[in-house]
A and B are shown apart, each in its own frame.
Chain A
Amino acid sequence: MPAQAEVVDVIARLALFADLSTAQLEGVAHVFEEAFFADGTRVLRQGLTGSGLYVILDGEAAIQVDGVERSTLGRGEFFGEISCLLDEPPVADIVAHGPLRCLVLPRPQVQPFLTAYPIVMFRMLQAEARKLRNTTKWLE
């Protein structure tokens, strides 16, 4: 795992990229980089500048705030987007739960990427809307 062609196959099955053509998926696979994190290693660090947008290809990650685990994320889910969109350091740690493979897009490339692929921006907005809805329900 995985050559560029294999990354294309994997991301084609993720909701975020489901609307893209094969040529567009190849473009995406070239823009993002792949990263691997061993069990227990930190992916995002609370309070540190310069992070990016991460999409989970394989594995699980935990969201930790001040060392307390709040939730977990799985294949196809993404994180780091709020820090990128607001240009603020992450407010949580993201820690690999078992071996974790991600695609990474550094913060400076997030806006050009989302405006180049508006349908991905829409899918991301939908995901954010679901998070907001769930949070609102929880507050009720």
Chain B
Amino acid sequence: MAGVEERPFPAGDYDLVIVGSGPGALQLSYSLTRLGVRHAVLSQDEAPGGMFRKWPVFQRLLSWTKPYAPQQRGTRAYERYDWNSLLADDGPARCVMPALMDGSSYFPSRPEMERSLATFAERAGVHVRYGCRWESTRRDGDRFVLGTSDGDYRTRVAVFAVGVAEPWRPPIPGLELAAHYGEQTSAESYADKRVFIVGKQNSGFELASGLLSWARQIIIASPSPTKLSVNTRTLVGVRARYVQPWEDYVLAGGVIILSAAIEEVTRLADGFRVKTRSSDKGIEKDFEVDSVIAATGFIAPLRDLSELGVATFGQSRLPAQTPFWESATVPGIYFAGTLSQGAAGLKKYGIPSNSGAVQGHRYNARVLAHHLASRHFGVAPQRSTLRAEDLASFLLAEATRAPELWHQRSYLARVVSLSGEVVDEGIAPLTHFVDAGGPDAVAVTVESNPAGDLYPAVYTRRAGAISEHLLEPDPLYEFESPSHHVALAAALEGLLPEPVRAGTAKTR
């Protein structure tokens, strides 16, 4: 493995510098190398894996990899069922995760995921300068200077893939007395204790699930009501694996779940007092407990980037970004990995992208690599020409099987330009397609609505104007039926030369 002993990338000038060695950084480095873009990768860690070297606390992931799936393992279409492998174009670095799993669960264990990322880095030849801590950032002319524990790195383009990894507590008086989710070690230490968990996200429910067989009583509280992923039909909300405390609560088994603001935490002789106020009627209630845990989330560890002008937003202090993951306020600074959530996309009906998880941001990184290569390093994008009569079948096949469109619904799209030739432009951010203008073109993605329907969404651009065309859902998620062809032909009406239009309408 490319490890500490080799110490690549000494301080100096580089075309591009990536900070981080989690899945986002590894994916971007691999994809840039494939495009011939020279770059350095720096990480304060001693080995690859990022947050998966420590978390989840109870050592099993929320994201699945199905060893057996409707598509053959190792194919592009199989990636829809494997949320954890990083993406390699070919060779032994492709589809690493399933072969490393012991078969006990389709959710890999944390050590299996860590091993998968290290294996990818080794097989793909991703080199990282480990043990090199990014400490400061400044400008020097057209360069950024990253001050590190190993000296200064000067670069025109800096990409930060440092995760949303810094434990965060809201400014509630006394909450600093509580242990944070990120500091938890063993469930056994909570045996026969009354535990108060602040926060109703997955981390709070993960802790509660792990403590069900140990704690005497568990109280989970935050101002907002509990959301469940099976209800939101997205990754927003508590995942099914952690719903057991919710069932315990609704069946009055002993877990208490409250919608209440936490007003103060104070230390008692043998525990803590937590003052709460209910979110609906403002009723005050105090709890005396043995332990308080702050499952209150994480923020982006962006160090001094705000002093450079990088705007952030929201509780996680995500950097605001363009559709191509460049800082919205400081050109030349980009983000990869979970930080790429800061480019929100269309977020239709409030449904977010999956950029906060590996299965989403691995595709962002690949698109970003192509964008960086073309915009900053003169690497011409590789495009292929399609026969016009094949366009409809191509788009509907993508909507049915393209993993990018399934994992990044309404966020990434397959784009085909239609000015003269019919040219496959590859995968691109949908927001860029609808907002940036350009020649006549069509983009297809997969979208869903609050009712849970999944369907292809086609966006056409003609003479600069965007139109949205939502095709029919299908219960088996197969979008290549004659009726889909008819609907797509109607959406493309007038965008293709006359003889082809007729041919497209007749397809299948």
Contacts and interface: CB of A to CB of B under 8 A. Distances in A.
Interface of A: 1, 3-5, 21, 23-24, 26-27, 29-31, 33-38, 41-42, 45, 47-52, 89, 99, 101, 104-109
B223 A109 contact: no
A48 B313 contact: no
B261 A26 contact: yes
Contacts of B466: 45, 47-48
A89 B468 CA distance: 10
A68 B315 CA distance: 35
A108 B448 CA distance: 13
B170 A107 contact: no
B313 A35 contact: yes
Interface string B315-326: 100001010000
Contacts of B170: 3-5
Contacts of B224: 27, 30-31
A79 to B, nearest CB: 16
B350 A107 contact: yes
A38 B328 contact: yes
30 contacts: A3-B171, A5-B171, A23-B278, A26-B279, A29-B223, A30-B222, A35-B313, A35-B344, A36-B313, A36-B328, A38-B311, A38-B328, A38-B329, A41-B328, A42-B435, A47-B466, A48-B434, A48-B466, A50-B348, A50-B349, A50-B351, A50-B410, A50-B447, A52-B347, A89-B468, A99-B311, A104-B347, A105-B350, A106-B351, A107-B349
B450 interface: yes
A108 B349 contact: yes
Contacts of A37: 320, 328
Interface hub of B261, B280, B344, B450 (most chain A Cβ within 10 A): B261
B350 A106 contact: yes
Contacts of B494: none
Contacts of A26: 223, 261, 279
B311 A36 contact: yes
Given A35-B313, A38-B328, A45-B466, A50 B449 contact: yes
Contacts of A3: 170-171, 315
Nearest to A50: B348
B278 A4 contact: no
A50 B435 CA distance: 16
A139 B261 CA distance: 48
Contacts of A30: 222-224
Contacts of A27: 223-224, 259, 261, 279-280
A52 B468 contact: no
Contacts of B447: 50
Contacts of A23: 223, 261, 277-279, 282
Contacts of A1: 312-313
Nearest to A108: B450
Is chain B's binding surface mostly helix, strand, loop or mixed?
loop
Contacts of A24: 279, 282
A54 to B, nearest CB: 12
Given A23-B223, A30-B223, A108-B349, 20 more contacts: A23-B279, A24-B282, A26-B223, A26-B261, A27-B259, A34-B313, A35-B344, A36-B320, A38-B311, A41-B435, A47-B468, A49-B468, A50-B410, A50-B447, A50-B449, A51-B348, A52-B347, A106-B349, A107-B349, A107-B450
B462 to A, nearest CB: 13
A52 B468 CA distance: 17
Contacts of A41: 328, 435
A26 B261 CA distance: 7
A80 to B, nearest CB: 12
A41 B468 CA distance: 19
Contacts of A105: 350
Contacts of B277: 23
A106 B352 CA distance: 11
A37 B328 CA distance: 8
A64 to B, nearest CB: 13
A63 to B, nearest CB: 17
B314 A34 contact: yes
B467 interface: yes
B2 interface: no
A51 B347 CA distance: 8
A77 B349 CA distance: 21
Interface in B291-329: 311-315, 320, 322, 328-329
Chain A to chain B: the 3 pairs with minimum beta-carbon distance, closest first: A106-B350, A50-B348, A30-B224
Interface string B330-357: 0000000000000010111111000000
B282 A21 contact: yes
Contacts of B313: 1, 34-36, 101
A13 B466 CA distance: 38
Contacts of A106: 347, 349-351
